[in-house]
Amino acid sequence: VRAQGDTYQVVADVSQFEPPDIVVTTSNCHVAIQAEKVAEDGTVCDTFTHKCQLPEDMDPLSVSCALTEAGTLVITARRR
């Protein structure tokens, strides 16, 4: 987790996954990123999981995420 000005950022490289395969969830001050690549035959051929705790002074209603064209997932949250 990086602090930049009045926001916190979490950055993850998920370039090997398609956007529908990426799930971001938040609960209390925790963020979880999960991604799964499924092969044509239905088997899971690649997974990514990352969990982190955001600082307590972040605003839980301000959490948002964006996926860049390069496949970098950027999660941001404002400080209170």
Q: Is the pLDDT of residue 78 over 90?
A: yes
Q: Is the pLDDT of residue 80 over 90?
A: no
Give the helix/strand (H/E) hosting 36. strand 30-38
> For the chain, percent helix, then strand, then coil, each to nearest 5?
10, 60, 30
| Alpha helices in the chain, H assignment, sequence order | none
Q: What residue segments make up the domains of the chain, in order of their start?
A: 1-76
pTM: 0.85
Fold topology of 1-76? Immunoglobulin-like (2.60.40)
